């Protein structure tokens, strides 16, 4: 397809009003406003969405217009520990729906608003606990939560799930209540089985993709979570292989959306920028340097539509334990008319 430049060259037209349907690359001078304008690919942006009803570090699934938030470390308004609260998002506001069966936090989720699953985490309520590691695996069908077959091994602290609600892989995560990171991998296709071990023992990692084509990155390699890694790996359903590293070692990067070859990540600790992954390397997304509200360990962005151009992030805040009602929506780059300025 020819570009505007190839058809019309670099000649700039003078017009009294902006053209109604300009093409990307088209430039004109508006004599009425005295401004030089161009149609170009505009930046992707984070915008604030409707607040959740329950303040917590939820896990999310679904899409920007059909999202789901559940579980997490709740506040009401003081700490109440593991939560069963479930809410659905319609692109504007959250609505409280049927509670989950088990109060948990540090869980991982994926799927759609009408077919999602939540795995693992820490069981218990109350600010002081006690909390126990969980093998729980719950499914949500848009109305009701069902206890599914529990996993063989309990995980918490970012036990990343990749794939779909019926065909997934669970990667690494904490192996005990003290936060000791592990490298175990579990796969689910209606029943659970052990997978190839992750190359390093980590918790608080994140990833995007499917059970047979995924990318994972970051994480903490010690129990306090203070030693972070920049390592990233691709998974083909059998083996993990190293790929380009994160620009900065980080963990608690729950925010993810997209595929193994085109993914978007946010909400890392420390608060590094929103990142793009192109199938071989990570780069700072120049249009979206960060969330509108800096977020540490933001809950998982929607990835059920396998796109890095639209995503939903909910919960958490600027520091560890600073859980919020906040919801943010990401819209990827799109064509926009921009006024050209010369300095």
In the predicted structure, residue 51 carries a pLDDT above the cut 60? yes
- pLDDT computed for residue 297 by the predictor: 47
Same structural domain, 319 and 250:
yes
Report the CATH number at residue 94.
2.120.10.80
- pLDDT computed for residue 58 by the predictor: 75
Q: Is residue 230 part of a domain?
A: yes
Same structural domain, 106 and 224:
yes
3-state helix, strand, coil in the chain (%, to 5): 0, 40, 55
pTM listed for this prediction: 0.85
Same structural domain, 9 and 108:
no
Q: Is residue 184 part of a domain?
A: yes
Give percent above pLDDT 70 in the chain: 83
Same structural domain, 21 and 127:
no
Lowest-pLDDT range, 79-88, 96-105, 166-175, 268-277? 268-277
Q: Is residue 340 part of a domain?
A: no
Work out the pLDDT band at 12, boundaries 50, 70, 90.
confident
What distances in angstroms separate CA 27 from CA 13, 18, 33, 142, 207, one per listed residue?
Answer: 8, 10, 15, 48, 40
Q: Is residue 50 part of a domain?
A: yes
Same structural domain, 285 and 325:
yes
- The most confident of the ranges 92-96, 258-262, 269-273, 309-313 is 92-96
Same structural domain, 29 and 128:
no
Q: Is residue 301 part of a domain?
A: yes
Same structural domain, 95 and 220:
yes
Same structural domain, 216 and 252:
yes
Q: Is residue 140 part of a domain?
A: yes
Residue whose tokens read 């249009």:
287
In the predicted model, what is the mean pLDDT of residues 51-58? 83
In the predicted model, what is the mean pLDDT of residues 288-310? 59
In the predicted model, what is the mean pLDDT of residues 142-151? 98
- pLDDT computed for residue 316 by the predictor: 65
Candidates 106, 124, 115; CA nearest to 172 is: 106
Give percent above pLDDT 90 in the chain: 47
Lowest-pLDDT range, 15-19, 145-149, 204-208? 204-208
Same structural domain, 36 and 49:
no
Q: Is residue 169 part of a domain?
A: yes
CB 134 within 8 A of CB 147: no
In the predicted model, what is the mean pLDDT of residues 136-150? 97
The residue segments making up the domain with residue 311 are 45-331
- pLDDT computed for residue 300 by the predictor: 46
Same structural domain, 113 and 132:
yes
* Of 3 and 63, more confident: 63
Q: Is residue 84 part of a domain?
A: yes
What does the alpha-carbon distance between residue 291 and residue 236 come to, in Å, rounded to a whole number? Answer: 31
For the stretch 179-237, pLDDT in tens is 899 999 999 999 999 999 999 999 988 899 999 999 999 999 998 778 999 999 999 99
In the predicted model, what is the mean pLDDT of residues 240-256? 86
Same structural domain, 35 and 84:
no
Same structural domain, 31 and 120:
no
Number of domains observed in the structure of the chain: 2
In the predicted structure, residue 267 carries a pLDDT above the cut 90? no
Work out the pLDDT band at 116, boundaries 50, 70, 90.
very high
């Amino acid at each position: 397809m020819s570009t505007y430049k190839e058809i019309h060259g670099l000649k700039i037209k003078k017009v009294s009003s902006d053209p109604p349907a300009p093409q990307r690359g088209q430039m004109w001078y508006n004599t009425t406003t005295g401004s030089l304008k161009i149609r170009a690919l505009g930046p992707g942006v984070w915008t604030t969405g409707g607040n959740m009803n329950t303040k917590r570090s939820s896990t999310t699934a679904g899409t920007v217009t059909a999202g789901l938030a559940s579980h997490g470390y709740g506040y009401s308004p003081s700490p109440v520990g593991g939560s069963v609260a479930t809410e659905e998002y319609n692109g504007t506001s959250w609505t409280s729906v049927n509670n989950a069966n088990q109060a948990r936090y540090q869980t991982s989720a994926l799927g759609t608003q009408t077919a999602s699953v939540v795995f693992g985490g820490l069981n218990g309520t109350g600010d002081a606990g006690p909390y126990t590691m969980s093998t729980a695996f719950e499914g949500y069908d848009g109305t009701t939560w069902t206890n599914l077959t529990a996993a063989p091994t309990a995980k918490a602290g970012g036990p990343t799930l990749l794939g779909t609600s019926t065909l997934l892989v669970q990667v690494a995560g904490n192996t005990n209540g003290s936060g000791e990171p592990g490298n175990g991998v579990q796969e689910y296709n209606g029943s659970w089985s052990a997978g190839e071990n992750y190359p390093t023992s980590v918790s608080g990692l994140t990833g995007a993709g499917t059970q047979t084509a995924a990318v994972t990155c970051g994480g903490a390699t010690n129990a306090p979570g203070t030693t972070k890694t920049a390592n990233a790996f691709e998974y083909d359903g059998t083996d993990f292989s190293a790929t380009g590293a994160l620009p900065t070692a980080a963990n608690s990067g729950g925010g993810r959306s997209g595929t193994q070859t085109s993914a978007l990540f946010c909400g890392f600790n420390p608060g590094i920028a929103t990142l793009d992954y192109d199938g071989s390397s990570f780069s700072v997304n120049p249009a979206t340097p960060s969330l509108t509200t800096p977020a540490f360990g933001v809950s998982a962005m929607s990835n059920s539509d396998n796109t890095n151009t639209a995503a939903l992030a909910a919960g958490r805040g600027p520091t560890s334990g600073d859980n919020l009602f906040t919801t943010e929506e990401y819209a990827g780059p799109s064509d926009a008319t921009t006024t050209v300025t010369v300095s």
